[in-house]
Amino acid sequence: MTLSVKDKIDLSRYRIEKAKKLLEDASTLFDASSYESAINRSYYAVLNASRSLLILRGIDPETHEGIKTMLSKEFIRTGLLPKKFGETFRSIQARRIDSDYGDYVEIGSDEAADSLKRAQHFVKKAEEIANSIVRGLT
């Protein structure tokens, strides 16, 4: 399926708003001391923000690894997104996998707070980049 420019912009904006909602959920879960779930929601906020950027390039990977790979190729290697955000993606993804699937893994408030803070910065930066791309498309 080929999307029009308007459809790409609309989908990108939808995905950023979804990322923001996931950050709100992560914050609520963190405040309730549900640290594993806060990391999970933080990760999915980063994932949706990444998808928001990629769709503006007409790229819509089907897997998490595909999203991470294409984000690196299209935005990090080109310098549009600072390298530290690639590390943010990898770090939060690893924590999410550990907390969701690992046996006897204990996630503390420090790890959850770090993940939430980094996810908030990631989503904010992704929104800024998306807005810049949209200005160039319209």
pLDDT, tens digit, for every residue of 97-128? 999 998 898 889 999 999 999 999 999 999 99
C-alpha dihedral sign at 60, 64, 65, 69:
positive
CATH topology of domain 5-137: Four Helix Bundle (Hemerythrin (Met), subunit A) (1.20.120)
Burial of 24 (0-12, 13-18, 19+ CB in 10 A): exposed
105 phi/psi in degrees, rounded to 5: -90, 125
Burial of 61 (0-12, 13-18, 19+ CB in 10 A): middle
pTM of the model: 0.94
| pLDDT band at residue 32 under the 50/70/90 scheme | very high
For residue 90, give the nearest of 59, 70, 65 by alpha carbon. 65
Q: Where are the domains of the chain?
A: 5-137
